[in-house]
Structure 1
Amino acid sequence: MNTVLKAGTPPLRGRSAEVSALREALRSPRRPGSLHMSFEGAPGMGKSRLLAEAGAVAEASGAEVIRGLHGSHGVFDRPLVVLLDDTHRSDTADARALAALRPSTANVPVVWCTGRRCGSPSSPLESALESVAVSRRSFRLGALDDRAAQEMVGDLLGARPDAALARAAASLSGHPRALRAFAEGLMEEGRVEVGAAACLTRPGIPERLGDLVRRYVQDCSRPCATMLLVASTLGMHLIFGELAEILGAKPSCLLPDLQEAVFSGLLSQDGDDVKFANEPFRDIIRGMVPAAARAAIREQADHYRARQFEEAFAGSPGFPGNAAPGPAAVLLRTPPTHRTAGGVVLSGPCRGPEPAGVPADRRAPAVASVFAPRAADTAPGVPAGPRCAESAGSGAAAIPGWERLTEKQVAAAELAVEGMTNKEIAARLHLSPHTVNYHLRKIFRALSIRSRTELIRLVHAASPAAGLRPAREGLFPGGAA
């Protein structure tokens, strides 16, 4: 792969630590020996771009730069920087080329800069480098922070993004190649107007971004791709038992596919919480699944969640066959055809009916929630009751301990189940991340659980439609179906 910086290449954003390390390596005492600097990351994290930057920094410092191992090389008389990309794909021929180059570098300092995909096994070339380098420094390239992501989009568009465009860029979770595809796609499709600021004029997922994500999925093994397609239909977070049930596989058999998807950058893992890297990625992958297949997968998931709910609360008051009918009985009597369509209610305090005569397009918009079915989706003969998360028809209201939560805690739990981070929840509720963390601890204690993943699993079990994507307007409305 070509690692030469082209004329007009935008500046490298968000990699100051790696570039500083490169500069420091080139300022080291000029004595013979080798330093191996390895840049590792998921596809699209900017490894090739960083290698190109390394070449530019090296040439500016007076070092000699070679890109690749094959070809004729003379004897070097000044510091040398060797750029090797995708070393995880190298073979024995590359290892032999390295052995042939070594005599020419015996009397000069050498910095080997390599890029590789994380999670890949060591290649013959990488094993040979282990014996060549005197020391090694490894860098794991992660996502860009929000500021670097906005700067990168601004560089590509030629103007600072406005608030709406900045939010859309932030939803891509700092993925460098996705940000580039997003910005270039906006320009190609005329979705952005560039003046004093870059303004998003027509929301939606650019086709260039969709093509990139679909290519990532196609590069995965077939079992991993199948798992991603099914998981995208069920929700942002992966519920392991549910996924294994639908795929008809033992949970242990899914581990390699799960690991591959995380290494590919399509999923992210934080402790025991595994979810899609970001909502646009999930939307695009979900759009690869035909509508009929999505409906069949969701129906299968509904049956699984209903069984989980029955097993979890079989001994609770109000469960069918126990003392008095309650919310659990209401939920379990709901036919699957009704449960499949449920999952959207008004969030927050209960609201009465709109005043008569108010046009439909002027009424207050409904905010999506996964905690209760719509009134139209309740079982025949069961009163709908007030349309709020605490209503008798609510799946969440059937969870033991839910009634002890405050309104703010209910809101925090709802956003956590949607897949938001503490920082995102804090911004939505106008709290500090520390306060959100405090509320989540109180929620976990009240519900007798220990983690966010258990909260998601509990709510999904209590509300069979919870895995459906909330019907709220996102940053990319009109995007993938």
Structure 2
Amino acid sequence: MELPLIGRDGEIERFGVLLRRAAPGRPAVLILDGPPEIGCGRLLRELAEAGRRLGAAVATSPGRIVLVRDRAELRPGTADPRFPERLAASAPVLVVTERQPVLAGPPAEVHRVVLGPLGRADVRRLITARLGATADDRLADLAQVAAGRPGAILDLIAGLHEEGLLRLGEPQRRQWRTVTVSGVARLPERTRVRLAHRLDTLSAPARHLVQAVTAVRSPVSPARLSELLGGSVVGLLPDVEEALDSGLLVPVGDALAFSHELVRAVVEASMPHSVVAALRHEQGPPRRPRARRAVAPRPLTADWSLLSARELEVAELVGLALTNQQIAGRLGRSPHTVNYHLRQIFRKFGLASRVELVSLLRLRGQPGVR
């Protein structure tokens, strides 16, 4: 028996509005979109049933349903979902597709719905529906590895069951809890493999971004990531979007974080221990909060003799507002090499950002500044 659809009331309501607005000669199209395991296919099946309950004639094909609002307007033999254009000229038609192109025929009123993650309350409701009992706080916390995606949540529950990592509490409470090892929840192997596969299928820049997040305390701002990776925030946007689409990272206000600390562990396991240690070392000392710098600002002085010739050259090019990629082109080196030199400069001067380095460069050569 299929579980009830949870957390998609707004999408079903919008579907009903579009079905009522469809008119002969101007079909309506609703495109369902979203990241993997977010439930587009399940919602599509639910909308087909909703259409039948509303009295519409419904024809289905993989990834698409075609609805004619009034069965009386449907001529025999015309309800072929492969050719909704034949229906649209004379009947009110709504086409719902799962990440597919829109109609090639008459002009259509097109709407796109991007399914978002389930909220915490809906995640608990889904777990309760699946287990027949509520989840305790530890199980609800572990479910965050699924990043609010229904398919991933159900896969996690299945894996916990398979490995005996779920226990039902006292009969009077009827509450499921996770089995922990030394107080720490375990990921089932199928979930760990799923997360590792998501990381492996990312593009190289997006994978490096996710791996870089392991080097800092979450949540981390895109500006901080741009410093770590040696580029601009704008240049990181496609990689940030891809990382969020994978579910490994989630937005926390204006920053990014792992969906759960156990996801960080999976990402760290994908890298050699030496690389993990180097990433943490390259952070340098913890950055001082802005409030502390405002009270006791760092002296704008620097001993430039501490820098090597190459480091000084890199610093001067940073002062020209060049990105690491542009500096690499000027020097005939890779961006990774430029980033390494920049990290060395930051370490030697105790800096936290390019902005601070530029401030030092502006004062260089003034009286009293070394």
CA distance in 2, matches of 1:318, 1:242: 19
Which residue is 1:285 aligned to? 267
Among residues 200, 210, 226, which one is paired with 2:178 in the alignment? 200
Whether the 8 Å CA contact 1:36–1:133 is kept in 2: the answer is: no
Aligned pairs (5 A) from 1:424-439: none
**Structure 1 178/284 Cα, relative in aligned 2: closer, same or farther at 3 Å?**
farther
**Structure 1 51/81 Cα, relative in aligned 2: closer, same or farther at 3 Å?**
farther
Whether the 8 Å CA contact 2:27–2:92 is kept in 1: the answer is: yes
- 1:233 matched to 2:223? The reply is no
Which residue is 2:359 aligned to? none
**Structure 1 133/285 Cα, relative in aligned 2: closer, same or farther at 3 Å?**
farther
Deviation of the 1:59 alpha carbon: 3.8
Percent of residue pairs identical: 24
Which residue is 1:152 aligned to? 126
- 1:276 matched to 2:258? The reply is yes
CA distance in 1, matches of 2:23, 2:300: 80
Whether the 8 Å CA contact 2:24–2:89 is kept in 1: the answer is: no
Aligned pairs (5 A) from 1:31-430: 31=24, 33-60=26-53, 61-68=55-62, 77=75, 102-116=85-99, 126=101, 128-129=102-103, 132=106, 134-169=108-143, 172-194=146-168, 196-202=174-180, 203-240=185-222, 242-249=224-231, 252-269=234-251, 272-302=254-284, 316=296
Amino acid across the alignment from 2:75: D
Which residue is 1:453 aligned to? none
CA distances 1:177-197 after superposition (whole Å, capped 9, x unpaired): 321122111111111124633
CA distance in 2, matches of 1:48, 1:145: 19
**Structure 1 257/28 Cα, relative in aligned 2: closer, same or farther at 3 Å?**
closer
Whether the 8 Å CA contact 2:211–2:268 is kept in 1: the answer is: yes
CA distance in 2, matches of 1:248, 1:268: 22
CA distance in 1, matches of 2:58, 2:127: 32
CA distances 1:100-130 after superposition (whole Å, capped 9, x unpaired): 65235533322111233xxxxxxxx63x538
Number of paired residues?
Answer: 285
CA distance in 1, matches of 2:225, 2:22: 55
Deviation of the 1:133 alpha carbon: 5.0
Whether the 8 Å CA contact 1:150–1:166 is kept in 2: the answer is: yes
**Structure 1 299/81 Cα, relative in aligned 2: closer, same or farther at 3 Å?**
farther
**Structure 1 104/313 Cα, relative in aligned 2: closer, same or farther at 3 Å?**
closer
* Unaligned residue ranges in structure 2 (runs of 5+): 65-72, 302-351, 357-370
State TM-score, norm by structure 2.
Answer: 0.63
**Structure 1 24/251 Cα, relative in aligned 2: closer, same or farther at 3 Å?**
closer
Deviation of the 1:295 alpha carbon: 0.7
> What is the root-mean-square deviation of aligned Cα atoms in Å?
3.9
Deviation of the 1:44 alpha carbon: 2.1
Whether the 8 Å CA contact 2:216–2:280 is kept in 1: the answer is: yes
CA distance in 1, matches of 2:201, 2:93: 34
CA distance in 2, matches of 1:218, 1:302: 28
CA distances 1:227-253 after superposition (whole Å, capped 9, x unpaired): 111222323223445534544545554
CA distance in 2, matches of 1:201, 1:268: 26
CA distance in 2, matches of 1:21, 1:264: 27
